[in-house]
Chain A
């Protein structure tokens, strides 16, 4: 699975959009971009995933660049409860293990 690079931490004002970047320059054609988050010490929570088209669900939007070498997770209206570590992971959709990096610590501030 391709390696990902994320900033170690970001701050966001409550109510504003949080834009979390991820670089995955070695991604291959059959690999998907997955996003998970871990709030405090809870179990990781699935957010969204995509292959090449932009995706949106009730939690977030995923924007993948045309060359697929980077992506951005967007939380449209961040709340204090969105404070968490966000992980960007590249894997085949029907692959097995998830390889977690250090992720981005997002702090939402009032």
Chain B
């Protein structure tokens, strides 16, 4: 059973560009969570999604950030007009229905030049 997949693993963007991070949950998992880890800091929750629904976005910055988990395909975390402060590791986790144990992917490391 494949684990949580994230791609790309490394992403370089220039200031003002858009970044799209993809997360494919484990088979049978319908809940997806996104976390961000800034350099030398801890992991912070961003958003919790189920298929076609955002359940909790209390950790999402108010502007430029959005997330979706469509009926078909991976979950997407989208960052518009990236700034240097967006440089971080972004981790996705998934869990089966009823929000049980979360399993994490390897992360996407975003570097903004």
Chain A interface residues toward B at CB < 8 A: 34, 36, 38, 41-46, 49, 93-103
Contact assessment for B107 and A100 in the assembled complex, using a CB-CB cutoff below 8 Å: no
Q: Is the interface of A mostly helix, strand, loop or mixed?
A: loop
Interface residues of B in 1-55 (CB under 8 A from A): 4, 33, 35, 42-45, 48, 55
Contact bitstring B78-113, A, C-beta under 8 A = 1, else 0: 000000000001010100001111111111010000
Answer whether residue B73 sits at the interface, using C-beta atoms and an 8 A cutoff: no
Chain B interface residues toward A at CB < 8 A: 4, 33, 35, 42-45, 48, 55-56, 58-59, 89, 91, 93, 98-107, 109
CB distance from B90 to the nearest CB of A (A): 10
Contact assessment for B56 and A97 in the assembled complex, using a CB-CB cutoff below 8 Å: yes
Which A-chain residue is minimally distant from B43 (CB atoms)? A100
The docked-state distance in angstroms from the alpha carbon of A43 to that of B103 is 9
Chain A residues lying within 8 Å of B59, measured Cβ to Cβ, are 97
Q: Name which of A34, A44, A93, A94 has the most chain B CB atoms within 10 A of its CB.
A: A44
